[in-house]
Amino acid sequence: MIQTLPITKAREELTNLVDNAKRKLDEYIITVNGSPAAVIISVAEYESWKETNEILSNPFLMESIKKGEADVKLGKLYDWNDVRRELGGYLLHDVSDKNYGSSKKRAKRHKKRILRGD
């Protein structure tokens, strides 16, 4: 839920605002003299926005996404079990395995490889 607050009220409620942003994913627009000046959002939301901006600013990734979407519309899909069989020993783990470390860490490593063009 997005709320707009003057900076004086935000100062008084800062601890609660931060807690609500973290736990409830509430968002706050802070105004100074009636004009929007800052935003309080959770770190998770902030990181998500940053990552989205990185993807949108990368022409290679955007082209890959568009190609993937076009393939889906054309029905060019692969069954995961067929892909796994075809790759055979190349796969070191099943990406759906919940015990294989943090998916966020894997995603960051994968993103770095893509951005480098590996």
Per-residue pLDDT tens for 71-92? 999 999 888 888 878 877 666 5
Q: Please give the chain's pLDDT, 118 residues, in tens.
A: 799 999 999 999 999 999 999 999 999 999 999 999 999 999 999 999 999 999 999 999 999 999 999 999 999 988 888 887 887 766 655 555 555 455 556 666 666 666 666 5
Predicted pLDDT at 4: 97
Nearest to 116 by CA among 76, 48, 43, 60: 60
* pTM of structure: 0.57
Nearest to 60 by CA among 114, 22, 6: 114
Domain ranges of the chain: 2-44, 58-116
Classify domain 2-44 at the CATH class level.
alpha beta
- Sequence-ordered alpha helix ranges (H) in 1-118: 7-24, 43-56, 59-73, 80-87, 103-116
